[in-house]
């Protein structure tokens, strides 16, 4: 065996796979383990997006910019500045970014470790729920983007720093934060806005040295004609 390309599924997002294959002398066709690990954490991913000048929703890490260091991670002291560690800090952050807010566990997913809070009372209760759902996970907060559509851009990057965007999809039809179907090409965003989204995805891909296929997810507000980074999934979707 010379190389492995998992394409999709849990293996395609497990940083241990490329690291293990490298130790065995087998080429992993995809991002490096350090880049994959950074993207799998939503706090690190949002910091990297801000650093690449990709628009972000107001959140607990507003204005924090930092590239990956030589070890391929966001330094811990920078990472912690974007997190909230207790209900009191969460309340202060919510006042700063504005209600309603989403409380998210960075290691959550699939509808787990995410709660909406519309008031300080809800915030304190739901913060504890998020802590209990994903024990030990760092927690961050974002302002709720209302009347938003979930749009995605497919990207491919190579080891020479090149990146291309391959159009995208509208994934707004969801139940319990899980997509039911994906519609392409997306038509809700004007072509010039979606082209900006593609350029932002390319810029992020190149700035972190991403290799292989990936999916950059955005929230798009048709009323304001603005889009915001959500996450970059290191696999096909």
**Token pair for 85:** 């560690």
203 phi/psi in degrees, rounded to 5: -60, -45
235 is catalytic: yes
CA distance 219 to 229: 7
CA 177 to chain centre: 14
Which one of the listed residues 115, 149, 169, 235 is annotated catalytic?
Answer: 235
Q: Per the structure block, which two tokens stand in for 177?
A: 């934060």
Q: Is 120 left (phi over 0), alpha (psi -120 to 50) or beta?
A: alpha
Which residues contact residue 160 at a Cβ distance below 8 angstroms, ignoring those fewer than 6 apart? none
Q: Which residues are catalytic?
A: 235
């Amino acid at each position: 065996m010379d190389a492995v390309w998992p394409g999709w599924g849990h293996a395609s997002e497990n940083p241990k796979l490329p690291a293990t294959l490298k130790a065995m002398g087998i080429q992993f066709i995809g991002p490096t383990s350090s880049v994959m690990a950074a993207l799998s954490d939503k706090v690190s991913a949002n910091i990297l997006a801000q650093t690449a000048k990709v628009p972000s929703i107001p959140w607990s890490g507003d204005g924090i910019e930092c590239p990956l260091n030589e070890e391929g991670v966001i330094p811990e002291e920078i990472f912690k500045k974007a997190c909230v560690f207790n209900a009191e800090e969460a309340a202060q952050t919510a006042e700063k970014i504005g209600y309603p807010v989403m409380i998210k566990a960075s290691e959550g997913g699939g509808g787990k470790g995410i709660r909406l809070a519309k008031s300080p009372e809800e915030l304190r209760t739901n913060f504890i729920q998020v802590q209990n759902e994903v024990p030990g996970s760092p927690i961050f907060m974002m302002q709720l983007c209302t009347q938003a559509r979930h749009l995605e851009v497919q990207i491919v990057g190579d080891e020479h720093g090149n990146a291309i965007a391959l159009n995208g999809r509208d994934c707004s039809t969801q139940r319990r934060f899980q997509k039911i179907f994906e519609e392409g090409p997306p038509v809700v965003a004007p072509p010039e806005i979606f082209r900006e989204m593609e350029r932002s995805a390319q810029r992020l891909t190149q700035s972190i040295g991403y290799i292989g296929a990936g999916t950059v997810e955005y929230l798009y507000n048709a009323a304001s004609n603005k889009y915001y980074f959500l996450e970059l999934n290191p696999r096909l979707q």
